[in-house]
Amino acid sequence: MTDVRDQLRSDLRDAMRARDVPRRNTIRMLEAAIKNAEIDKRGAELGESDILAILQRQVKQRRESIEQFEKGGRDDLADNERVEIAIIEQYLPQQLSRDEITARARAVIEQTGAAGPGDRGKVMGMLMRELRGQADGSLVNAAVSELLEAMAESG
């Protein structure tokens, strides 16, 4: 059993006792997503990093939903998604700032010898393994793109 999984179960019990419906529903949804992933892996119990990846996907899905709800004028539904994101993020490690992501990206670019936008895949693969669970992939991609494009323009 993983620490995150134990924490989810404990928090679910607490949310049920406190009659905290949004928290209870969000945690149940996370438990279902984890269980579905285990079923996909033929019943194998997931490790901590696998669970964190599931939680990050759930946050990403909600961010995409917020965007769609706002386009459709459904601010009430967007607000519900924001509440769920806040609950899910409590189980994720502290996220890196944009400056920290950029600094790590510079280091990986130097390590790999990347010279321009054509090397983005090589840099992203290495960087995402290093930052797994610590940074949103779209932020990492934006930072890497900016750095590689700047290198191409100055080079």
CATH of residue 148 = 1.10.10.410
Task: Give me the pLDDT at residue 28, please.
Answer: 97
Task: Give me the pLDDT at residue 130, please.
Answer: 84
Same domain, 39 and 110: no
Give the domain-ending residue among 62, 89, 116: 89
Same domain, 112 and 70: no
Same domain, 54 and 83: yes
DSSP SS3 for 135: coil
Task: Give me the pLDDT at residue 121, please.
Answer: 86
Same domain, 80 and 138: no
The tens digit of pLDDT for each residue in 35-79 reads: 999 999 887 888 887 888 899 899 999 999 999 999 999 999 999
- The domain total for the chain is 2
Contact indicator for 84, 26 with CB cutoff of 8 Å: yes
Same domain, 135 and 72: no
Cα dist from 103 to 93, 96, 100, 149, whole Å: 19, 11, 5, 16
Boundaries of domain holding 125: 98-154
Same domain, 76 and 20: yes
Between 132 and 32, the more confident residue is: 32
Cα dist from 16 to 6, 13, 73, 84, whole Å: 16, 5, 32, 16
Task: Give me the pLDDT at residue 138, please.
Answer: 82
Question: Is the pTM of the predicted complex or chain greater than 0.85?
Answer: no
Same domain, 66 and 135: no
User: Does the pLDDT of residue 1 top 60, yes or no?
Assistant: no
User: Does the pLDDT of residue 128 top 70, yes or no?
Assistant: yes
